[in-house]
Structure 1
């Protein structure tokens, strides 16, 4: 599993405007996910949407994932 595979899974599972995934070892990942779907949701709920998009890859091929989940307005405001 590499960064592009993870970004692709997130794009397939969520209506996103931006997805950026980084990793130094292809085991521990950091993702910036920007979606209107996050509007009105708490951070935990946002993360759950991302985890759902990744399905059974979480805890398997993806050992650890740090998620920054924002709405487009939050990203524009510099959150």
Structure 2
């Protein structure tokens, strides 16, 4: 069953409360998304660790309800 973009956003914000999250449905099928996540908590983290933090927020949904997520992370300017 596909995952709604609002659910992805809510899970990320629950784990990273200061995050600004932009979700784009890439294929219109609810399975392929792009997400841009901006959070001060990413300060000093490597790109890999930032992505791990976001994937951890999704609590195992990747590969199941959420098939693909093109992820971009950033620290606020």
Q: Could you tell me the TM-score, scaled by structure 1's length?
A: 0.87
RMSD of aligned alpha carbons: 0.9
The question of 1:7 aligning with 2:9 is answered yes
- Where has structure 1 moved over 4 Å in runs of 4 or more? none
Please tell me whether the aligned partners of residues 3 and 21 of structure 1 are also in contact (alpha carbons under 8 angstroms): yes
1:34 aligned residue: 38
2:53 aligned residue: 49
Structure 1 unaligned spans of 5+: 74-79
1:21 aligned residue: 23
Structure 2 unaligned spans of 5+: none
Alignment size in residue pairs: 73
Comparing 15-24 with 57-66, which one deviates more in the overlay? 15-24
